[in-house]
């Protein structure tokens, strides 16, 4: 979290959430792949953000996706659908925190 965002939270008395889990070089590579996938959606997702997602199981891609044009499925949905049963026990790398809201659109796949 940047210094400006941290300062703004501190002014309101909030403490920023920090994920202390260490990243391995493999984690960094999979996140880089998620970011690469997100770039494929640039200019097509407004008002949604561009997001990439990779499902990794046993060191291999089980599914991947990026945000579809507005009204279409989010990156997590695409990646998890592509992975199918291969998503069970896998790790999901997402370039943006997974969406849990679905006002009038498709439900997130984990619901």
Residues acting as catalytic residues: 76
Phi, psi of 53 (to 5 degrees): -145, 140
Q: Name 30's Cβ contacts closer than 8 Å, sequence gap at least 6.
A: 54, 56, 91, 93
Alpha-carbon distance of 48 to 111, in angstroms, equals: 20
**Nearest CA-CA partner of 83 in 53, 106, 107, 105:** 53
Please check whether residue 45 is in contact with residue 29, taking contact to mean a CB–CB distance below 8 angstroms: no
């Amino acid at each position: 979290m940047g210094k400006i965002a941290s300062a703004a939270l501190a002014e309101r008395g909030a403490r920023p959430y920090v994920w202390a889990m260490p990243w391995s070089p493999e984690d960094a590579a999979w996140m880089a792949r998620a970011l690469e996938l997100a770039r494929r959606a640039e200019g097509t997702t407004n008002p949604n953000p561009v997001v990439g997602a990779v499902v990794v199981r046993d060191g291999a891609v089980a599914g991947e996706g990026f945000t579809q044009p507005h009204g279409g499925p989010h990156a997590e949905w695409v990646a998890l659908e592509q992975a199918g049963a291969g998503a069970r026990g896998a790790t999901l790398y997402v370039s943006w925190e997974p969406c849990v809201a679905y006002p009038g659109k498709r439900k997130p796949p984990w619901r």
